[in-house]
Chains A and B, each alone.
Chain A
Amino acid sequence: MSLSDGDIATIWLTLRLATTVTILLLIFATPVAWWLARTHSWFKGPVSAIVALPLVLPPTVLGFYLLLAMGPNGAIGQFTQALGLGTLPFTFWGLVVASMVYSMPFVVQPIQNAIEAIGNRPIEASATLGAGPLDCFFTVVLPLAKPGFMTATILGFAHTVGEFGIVLMIGGSIPGETRVVSVQIYDHVEALEYAQAHALSGVMVVFSFVVLLILYTFQRKRKAVGMTYGR
């Protein structure tokens, strides 16, 4: 029960994809989470619902619409073609975009909850001390919401590693480009290569367990140290 070169390649590709998606999501989801946590706008409901959609929709549904949108005749496809980038489906970056949509709620929600838990007061206090909004974000909100950002990072990463349906719809199974671990396992099983499927599946089980273990130990430690960041 050993991993072939092809298997190793899929593992690296999976890690590259998950890292890229997590970093981009932290950049794009944080403003969304900030806005959702602080707004009283009427749009809060609809935006929350849209962000949470991937939690309930089958990946195939999401993948189908993304495929259409990113295709040559879709809005995103037209845009990327106009930029001279070609179309996104069946490329690594197509997979990145699709994964970002799919993992969005797992990153937005922990950050949003953490910012809500901080409350207005520290933010107002920093403003009265002369800190502008960005200064306040990096020196007050980020340190106080750190547990939320850690949870978001871990969940976003792990969820991207674990996806299958949307990869199949958008990426297919191109070696070195879009063939990630979950797809490779599927291909092994299809080809009745149970030994290889076992090996890779075992790696996934161990990985997932370790990630969740880190997450829960980390959260428990936070509570024990008394890192309260409530009002």
Chain B
Amino acid sequence: MADKSKKIKVSDKPETSVQGIQASFYLRYATPAKPTFTLDIDINMPGQGITAIFGESGSGKTSLLRCIAGLEKNASGSLNVNGECWQETCVFVPTHKRSLGYVFQEASLFEHLTAMANLHYAIKRNHQAVNPELLNQVISVMGINGILTQFPQQLSGGEKQRVAIARALLSQPKLLLMDEPLASLDTARKLEILPYLERLRSRFNIPILYVSHAVDEIVRLADHIVIMRQGKVITQGGITELFSRTDLPLGVSNEVGAILECNVVEKDKQWHLMRVTFDGGELWLPNVENIQNNTQRIRILASDVSLTLSPHTDSSILNVLSGRIVEIINDEDPAMSLVRLKVGGNYLLARLTLKSLQKLDLALGKSIWIQIKSAAIVR
């Protein structure tokens, strides 16, 4: 009887409808820098959009990505990607049979092949036919039309990385893994590639795991963040939610800031400003030409936010919002504190001295006016 009920339970379980990425890995290894390092992960990530894996160097981000790609053969655990099993106790799908794309930190093009031949390497091994339209689309989105006949050693770092991303896209992967694709480039090259990555997000509907330790890249690209430290996942969540939390090691403390998703509703030619609205109010920002999309991400650093008890009209500050204090914590700096504010459906962070905190008699639940010294579209 017991056997029968068990059987029914197993067959009832729909195996293919599991969406998302379920990854559980255990891996120990030694590097010259660290005699023993343990990666111990058990995590469910969204199976769509860009998920950033964030952490300091040496936190195991790259190892996690390599485990997912099947490049770490000693990792034990399990991996399911949108209903496909890639690893189980007795199952290990080898890397070349996983439908994935991998963009390494250095471009890793095949030096003996031209850029175009590098793309064809992926097309030829694709499990499904690549129609010429997709090839053209990838080439134009990555802006590599003019360099296809060249060999990798003739290309700049940024060009190489764009070809490498195009190559990964052409295997039409079910999951795209990107391991700090901008880390080996200088700032100018980074700024050159970021727009291509944004276009990648809007044009191709591929789930992406994006490893990075650069907050600015994550703010710009990611929908979801996984934060790692010492081989473990500390926390994860949506980008606007995570960035407004007070307890996260998202970079240095004076770089802490909240992120808002805003709509651009008006442009003021006379003062070169634009008006954006969000759930909680509206803001005036310096105008930005050539915005492709009306929905934009705005980042407001905690150090650019100050609080007042009444709405000042005699201040130079343009943006004043009303909100409520929901959390106060002490900063690493003994003079400072970090205050979390609820503004409509969103949160902002303010970095204040403990002295002003006491002077204004700020406490949890108190309604307050919020002055924002500067805010800018993330780019």
Contacts of A127 in B (CB 8 A): 70-71, 94-96
Whether the Cβ atoms of A130 and B126 lie closer than 8 Å is: yes
Task: Give Cα distance in the complex from A121 to B164, angstroms.
Answer: 13
Q: How far is the CA of A140 from the CA of B113 in the complex (A)?
A: 9
B276 at the interface (CB under 8 A from A): no
Task: Name A's interface SS.
Answer: helix
Are B153 and A228 closer than 8 Å at their CB atoms?
A: yes
CA distance A20 to B102 in the complex (A): 42
As a 0/1 sequence over residues 59 to 83 of chain B, the CB contacts with chain A under 8 angstroms (1 = contact) are 0000000000111000000000000
Which of B69, B95, B127, B167 has its CB near the most chain A CB atoms (within 10 A)? B95
Interface residues of A in 87-131 (CB under 8 A from B): 121-122, 124-131
With A126-B121, A127-B71, A228-B153 known to touch, is A132 a contact of B112 (CB < 8 Å)?
Answer: no
B103-111, B204-212, B266-274 - interface stretch: B103-111
Number of chain A interface residues as a range? 20 to 34
| Of B69, B71, B125, the contact of A130 (CB 8 Å cutoff) | B125
Do the beta carbons of B121 and A129 come within 8 Å of each other?
Answer: yes
Residues of A within 8 A of B168 (CB): 128-129
Q: In the complex, which of the residues A128, A226, A229, A231 contacts B95, with contact meaning CB atoms closer than 8 Å?
A: A128
Does any Cβ of B come within 8 Å of A183's Cβ? no
Q: Which residues of B from 134 to 157 have beta carbons under 8 Å from A? A: 153
Tell whether B100 is near chain A: CB-to-CB under 8 Å: yes
| Contacts A226-B153, A228-B153; A131 near B125 (Cβ below 8 A) | yes
- For A126-164 the 0/1 string (1 means CB < 8 A from B) is 111111110110011001100000000000000000000
Evaluate contact between B102 and A132: CB separation under 8 angstroms.
no
Contact A128 B111 (CB under 8 A): no
Q: Which residues of A contact B96 (CB under 8 A)?
A: 126-133, 135-136
A124 and B122 contact, CB distance less than 8 A: no
Which residues of chain B are near A229, meaning CB under 8 Å? 111-112
Residue of A nearest to B69 (CB): A128
The complex places the Cα of A41 from the Cα of B97 at a distance, in Å, of: 26
Closest residue of A by beta carbon distance from B101: A128
Name the contact of A135 in the complex, choosing from B97, B111, B112, B125 (C-beta under 8 A). B125
Answer whether residue B171 sits at the interface, using C-beta atoms and an 8 A cutoff. Answer: yes
A139 to B121, Cβ gap below 8 A? Answer: yes
- The answer on a CB contact under 8 Å between A130 and B122 is yes
Please indicate which of the listed interface residues B108, B127, B153, B168 has the most CB atoms of chain A within 10 Å of its own CB: B108
Chain A residue numbers with a CB within 8 Å of B102 are 124-125, 128
Q: How far is the CA of A110 from the CA of B373 in the complex (A)?
A: 65
Query: Which interface residue of B69, B125, B126 has the most chain A CB atoms within 10 A?
Result: B125
Report chain A residues within 8 Å CB of B112: 143-144, 229
A77 to B12 alpha-carbon distance, docked (Å) = 64
Tell me the minimal C-beta distance from B329 to chain A in angstroms: 43
Minimum Cβ distance to chain B for residue A32 (Å): 21
Please name 12 pairs of A and B residues whose Cβ atoms are closer than 8 Å in the assembled complex, sorted by A: A121-B108, A122-B110, A124-B95, A125-B102, A126-B121, A127-B70, A127-B95, A128-B171, A129-B167, A130-B125, A130-B127, A131-B96
- 8 additional A-B pairs beyond A125-B104, A144-B111, A144-B112, beta carbons within 8 Å, are A126-B121, A127-B94, A127-B96, A128-B95, A129-B96, A130-B127, A135-B125, A226-B153
The 9 closest A-B pairs by CB, nearest first: A130-B125, A128-B102, A127-B95, A143-B112, A125-B108, A127-B96, A129-B122, A121-B108, A132-B96
